Chains A and B, each alone.
Chain A
Amino acid sequence: MYTAGVPLMSCVIETQSLSKSYGGFRALDQVDLRIKPGTIGLLGPNGAGKSTLIKCLLQLHDKDGGKASLLGQDIDLHGRETRKRIGYAPEQDCHIPGMLGCEYVTYCAQLSGMPFSVARQRAHEMLDFVGMEQERYRKVDTYSTGMKQRVKIAQALVHDPELVFLDEPTNGLDPKGQALVLDLIEKIWKESGISVVLSSHLLHDVERVCEQVVIISKGRILVQDTLESLKAKRKPEAEIVTSEEASVLEALFDREGWTSEVLSNGNVKVLHGQATLNPLIRILAREGISPLEIKECPNALNELFIQALGNGEKGAA
């Protein structure tokens, strides 16, 4: 966790009833958010509204209604000045044709208000930081997907922002490339105190590096909480795979006052109401029942993500 001498503000992102439509399609529907500094995972299926939310916050797209502030400043009043303190690595390729990697990052630094000599030095530092070597002297047009992702992250960080939006930064990368980029994202917050918003449709990516999670589906926020809290939350339910007669288990759970049902696959689902599985295991042991497997109910993060995916599929249908 970041502990250096940079003051932390209460909220890096704040929105009230933020809305955006494309024709008849509501891409953002009354989005209310209050996000504290840190690593934030913006999770949702494709088309959920993640990129639209980022683009509205950065004023790349005009919002239809609502209010938004970044780093404590209203984007409508201080858009340009706010963006000076923000970095953004978009999902798609966005390089300037004909520019070398180091030229491109230097140019981006200058566009953000750095004098040329500082920008050039800083560009090389950032290219080092993202692990680019001699490739920086090649034209960006010739880069592989992994290099393009890294150079995008470098240009997003080069002007030393306080908040960075990374839109699907692991897209198109092989597992090694994904791991490298995720490590980098983790370092950004831990070493520098720059808040990172990681937009992704991959639960694994968000689980690995984020402290806070925002799950979005069909333009609505399903949940906003810390990863820890979401992982801790789960229904007090379990699914028992057993070779015993299901009726024996049902009778046992009835005696304990727990509700149970036999599933179509022959397993028994029980609502035990306990914080852990230990009481259930003890009861089964006491009765001499050896289950083949006890499946814990998925945690809230998984459940909500699956729900979001379901919504996305319904929307697509």
Chain B
Amino acid sequence: MRLSRLGYQRWQGQSTGIWTRRFVIMQSGIRLCLQSRILKVLIALAWGVSLVMVPLYFTLGQLLSPESGLMGYLAEFFGERFTRLAAGLMSWLLLYPEVCVNGVYRFSFFATMNAHLFLSFLAVSLFVPKLIAHDLSSQAIIIYNSKALTRLDYMVGKFGIVFGILGFMWIVPTTLAWFLGNLLSPDWTFFVHSFSAFGIALLVGVVGVAAISFLALAISALAKRTSTATTMWVFLWIISGVVSGIVGLVYSGGKYISISRSISDLGMELFDLPSIVEDAQAMLPFFSLWLPQSATQGMREISVFQGGVSAPLIAIGIFSAVSLLIISKRVKTQ
């Protein structure tokens, strides 16, 4: 029998909770955004950047572990001299694991962080109109507001879309690269030695993704038409980057008018690469021969603003707070 002949049927079931309803908004939004092929390519690129690190970590682990298969192969190939050199390296590892393992991980995480930051901004420019601008221009916002949802629920769901996509591009591959790299290492202590570097990478990833998510939602909420959302996003990203570079020459705090610069500098401060180099120079004799003291001085001059970590953090906080304010003002039925 056709359902229409059955007439109207009542439903008596258990309703889902509010977090499930927020998740539904997120899930549906992600599905809509992933219709873009270019976004899928960007996600693949972001994964590629991290997965390239896996063989690097694997090689490092093999080189620094006495019983590794790679060492055995290289010893056969290069002879006794290489084994002795490797034994010397291993002793340094035992003495200074924070320099040998942590240092390499910090450098690599810092490099991938910048790549992920760039790819995240690029990815957002592809789907920023589909976040809130779409709902405002098509009046779909009425549907959300008339259902069993509050404005906060809607915002949480939409935040989940950006955080979900960017997290999948940035945080997940970083975590996987760290895990696989260490898993393939013959020595389990690598997990411990690289954990602080991974923790920083995770922290910068979460803060960065959250800040970009807030900003993306604000831009999407501000745009009256879907086409203007992308323009506004690219304009904000590129112009603020250029302006921050110029202002930063006059006043070092001025560089934080760019959110991408703020996130990048937060990473730079947290990874503290100059101190790793200084430690290496102090502890590993051959390292100071390769890299003179003036080089670390140069690194410090590039990276450090007097405020340390707090300056970029405050900038990111201000960006996020203003974004939240804009979103809460704009997300309502006209």
Contact = CB atoms under 8 A, between A and B. Distances in A.
Contacts of B28: 107
Contacts of B35: 98
Interface in A88-138: 88, 90, 92-98, 107-108, 110-115, 118, 122, 124-125, 128-129, 131
B10 interface: yes
B64 to A, nearest CB: 49
Interface string A30-72: 0000000000000000000000000100111100000000000
Contact of A94 (B10, B13, B140): B140
Nearest to B141: A94
A79 interface: yes
Nearest to A192: B8
Interface in B132-152: 134-135, 138-150
Among B141, B144, B147, the one with the most A-chain Cβ atoms within 10 Å of its Cβ is B147
Contacts of A110: 16, 21, 24
A59 B24 CA distance: 22
B294 interface: no
Given A93-B138, A96-B134, A125 B3 contact: yes
Contacts of A218: none
Contacts of A84: 15, 147-148
Contacts of A79: 150
Nearest to A60: B333
A95 B4 contact: no
Contacts of B21: 110-111, 113
A128 B4 contact: yes
Interface in A173-189: 187-188
A112 B143 CA distance: 10
Interface string B111-126: 0000000000000000
B138 A128 contact: no
Contacts of B13: 114-115, 118
A108 B147 contact: yes
A90 B8 contact: no
Given A60-B146, A61-B333, A115-B13, A94 B139 contact: yes
Nearest to B29: A96
A93 B149 contact: no
A86 B147 CA distance: 8
A92 B25 CA distance: 22
Given A83-B147, A112-B148, A124 B3 contact: yes
Contacts of B32: 98
Contacts of B6: 125
Contact of B149 (A80, A94, A157): A80
Interface in B1-21: 2-4, 6-11, 13, 15-16, 18, 20-21
Nearest to B9: A125
Contact of B138 (A97, A160, A192): A97
A125 B24 CA distance: 21
A4 B150 CA distance: 33
Interface in A152-188: 155, 157, 159-160, 187-188
A95 B7 CA distance: 25
Interface in B307-334: 332-333
A210 to B, nearest CB: 19
Nearest to B144: A111
A297 to B, nearest CB: 40
A192 B16 CA distance: 23
B331 to A, nearest CB: 12
A81 interface: yes
A114 B145 contact: no
B150 A80 contact: yes
A191 interface: yes
Among B13, B15, B18, B142, the one with the most A-chain Cβ atoms within 10 Å of its Cβ is B142
Nearest to A55: B333
B138 A129 contact: no
Contacts of A59: 145
Contact of B143 (A114, A155, A157): A155
A104 B145 CA distance: 15
Contacts of A122: 11
Among B15, B146, B153, the one with the most A-chain Cβ atoms within 10 Å of its Cβ is B146
B148 A111 contact: yes
Among A6, A61, A111, A112, the one with the most B-chain Cβ atoms within 10 Å of its Cβ is A111
Contacts of A93: 138-139
Interface string B299-311: 0000000000000
Given A98-B35, A125-B9, A129-B8, A115 B139 contact: no
B148 A83 contact: yes
Contacts of B143: 90, 94, 96, 108, 111, 155
A110 B13 CA distance: 13
Nearest to B7: A191
17 contacts: A58-B146, A80-B153, A81-B148, A84-B15, A90-B139, A90-B146, A94-B138, A94-B142, A96-B143, A110-B24, A111-B21, A111-B149, A113-B16, A113-B148, A114-B13, A118-B13, A128-B3
Given A111-B149, A118-B13, A128-B4, 15 more contacts: A60-B145, A60-B333, A88-B146, A92-B142, A94-B141, A97-B140, A111-B21, A111-B147, A111-B148, A112-B147, A114-B11, A114-B15, A114-B16, A129-B4, A160-B10
